[in-house]
């Protein structure tokens, strides 16, 4: 600690000031000039909360995408379709059993199964041929989207949030003080915080799986040298199938969790495919940490754009991507190709 202060005194001071500023923005009552400049505090805090919880959802989708790419160099452009498929199956299961948790499990398992089938029947057949793999997954996503439209129609589906997670909770953030002196506390939907919590748990679990378990060791070895891993007696195809199942399953899981927070409808597959693409391009392909950073940046940018300059919100996301590409083509946490 002392060494770091000595080494980068200016940077440390800037970080501390910035952190203090952020804490102050959240906890203090805003003075009039600040409200005049960027609007009421409630909008700001809400936007940041929405951004961070959306980032949680983006992380759930993108982590599977980046996991598959990291090990197998497979760009699965059908990842959005897996998201939507998991959401639909999860909805049916939840409807049928009456249990939302079983719906989540159903979404995970259904997408994981499709993922394993994809790995066995598509990717294994075209190993090393990136372009063909990409094209095939594009074809699958076209057909998949159309078939899902045929089966589930163009209606919007809405999960019922389980009673345990429903409603809003009071946050310790005071947004304003009424004229009679009572303070107004910000309320926030509990479910969105649960999504964020789920993302954090999944993120930590993935990190532990990759860095602290035997199978994680094999996966990391496979990333570095697939042939050597195979030569040392590991069934590489088995590892690939497992990783693909986890990656695809996470997309289905995110489908149910995200579909509960927002809704499920045709076209969501493209939206989440795009989100995963941008998140991993910004964060760096193949890196779980990168996916977290990218999701946070993109989630915040999207919500801030939506709240403060609605028409140009998309452009903000795009600008982030351009800036990252201009300075680090491999993404923030990516390794040079």
Partner 1 sequence: MTLLDSKSLATALSGPTRRLPFDAGYLLLAIALLLYPMVASPFFTFQIGGYTLILGTIALSLMVLAGYGGMVSLSQMTVAGIAGYSIAIFGTNASGVMGLGWPWWVAVPFAILIGATASALIGMLAVRTAGIYMIMITLAIGTAFFYFVRQNYAFFNGFNGFHGVNAPTVFGIYWRDPVPFYYLSLAIATFFFVAVSYMARSTFGLSLQAIRDNPRRMRAIGFDVAAHRVFAFFLSGVIAATAGVLLVWFNGQITAGTVDVNAAIDVLVVAVVGGLRKPIGPYLGALLFALLQNFAIDLIDPERFNTVIGGVFLLIIFFSPDGLLGLWERIRTTTMSKSLRPALRRKPSK
Q: Smallest gap, in angstroms, from Cβ of residue 74 to partner 1? A: 9
- Which residues have CB under 8 Å from 252's CB, separation 6+? 82, 83, 85, 86, 87, 89, 90, 107, 108, 109, 110, 111, 112
| Residue 280 vs 288, nearer CB to partner 1 | 280
Q: Smallest gap, in angstroms, from Cβ of residue 259 to partner 1? A: 20
| Residue 49 vs 59, nearer CB to partner 1 | 59
| Residue 34 vs 126, nearer CB to partner 1 | 126
Q: Smallest gap, in angstroms, from Cβ of residue 4 to partner 1? A: 33
| Residue 98 vs 139, nearer CB to partner 1 | 139
SS3 of residue 126 by DSSP: coil
Phi first, then psi: give them for residue 172, nearest 5 degrees: -75, 25
| Residue 75 vs 218, nearer CB to partner 1 | 75
| Residue 10 vs 131, nearer CB to partner 1 | 131
What is the C-alpha separation between 144 and 138, in angstroms, rounded?
A: 10
DSSP notation for 72-84: H----TTHHHHHH
Kindly tell me the burial class for residue 54, based on how many C-beta atoms sit within 10 Å of its own C-beta (0-12, 13-18, 19 or more): buried
Q: Smallest gap, in angstroms, from Cβ of residue 329 to partner 1? A: 4
Q: Smallest gap, in angstroms, from Cβ of residue 312 to partner 1? A: 8
Q: Smallest gap, in angstroms, from Cβ of residue 271 to partner 1? A: 9
- List strand residue ranges (DSSP E) for the chain, in order: 168-177, 183-189
What is the C-alpha separation between 16 and 26, in angstroms, rounded?
A: 16
> How are beta strands 183-189 and 168-177 bridged, if at all?
antiparallel
| Residue 116 vs 149, nearer CB to partner 1 | 149
Q: Smallest gap, in angstroms, from Cβ of residue 84 to partner 1? A: 14
What is the C-alpha separation between 291 and 299, in angstroms, rounded?
A: 12
Which chain residues interact with partner 1 by CB under 8 A?
Answer: 73, 75, 77, 130-132, 134-136, 138-140, 142-143, 145-147, 149-150, 270, 274, 277-278, 280-281, 285, 310-315, 317-318, 321-322, 325-326, 329, 337
Kindly calculate the radius of gyration of the chain based on its CA atoms and give it in whole angstroms: 22
Structure token pair of residue 312: 């140009």
């Amino acid at each position: 600690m002392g060494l770091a202060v000595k080494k980068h005194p200016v940077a440390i001071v800037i970080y501390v000031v910035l952190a203090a500023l952020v804490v102050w923005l959240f906890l203090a009552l805003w003075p009039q000039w600040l409200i005049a400049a960027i609007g009421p505090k409630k909008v700001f805090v809400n936007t940041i909360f929405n951004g961070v919880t959306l980032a949680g959802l983006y992380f759930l989708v993108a982590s599977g995408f980046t996991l598959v790419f990291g090990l197998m160099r497979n760009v699965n452009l059908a990842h959005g379709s897996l998201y939507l498929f998991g959401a639909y199956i999860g909805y049916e299961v939840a409807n049928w059993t009456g249990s939302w948790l079983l719906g989540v499990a159903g979404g995970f398992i259904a997408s994981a199964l499709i993922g394993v089938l994809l790995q066995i029947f598509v990717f294994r057949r075209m190993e090393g041929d990136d372009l063909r793999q990409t094209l095939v997954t594009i074809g699958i996503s076209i057909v998949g989207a159309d078939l899902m439209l045929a089966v589930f129609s163009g209606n919007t589906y809405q999960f019922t949030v389980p009673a345990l997670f429903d409603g809003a909770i009071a946050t310790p953030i005071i947004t304003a003080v009424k004229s009679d002196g009572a303070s107004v506390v910000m309320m926030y939907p509990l479910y969105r915080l649960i999504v964020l919590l789920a993302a954090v748990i999944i993120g930590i679990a993935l990190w532990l799986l990759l860095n602290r378990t035997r199978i994680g060791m094999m996966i990391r070895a496979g990333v570095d040298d697939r042939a050597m891993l195979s030569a040392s007696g590991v069934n590489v195809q088995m590892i690939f199938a497992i990783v693909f199942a986890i990656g695809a399953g996470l997309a289905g899981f995110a489908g149910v969790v995200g579909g509960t927070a927002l809704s499920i409808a045709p076209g969501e597959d493209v939206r989440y495919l795009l989100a995963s693409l941008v998140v991993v391009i910004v964060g760096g392909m193949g890196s779980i940490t990168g996916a977290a950073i990218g999701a946070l940046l993109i989630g915040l940018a999207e919500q801030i754009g939506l709240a403060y300059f609605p028409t140009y919100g998309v452009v903000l996301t795009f600008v982030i991507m351009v800036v990252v590409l201009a300075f680090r083509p491999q993404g923030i946490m990516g390794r040079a190709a």
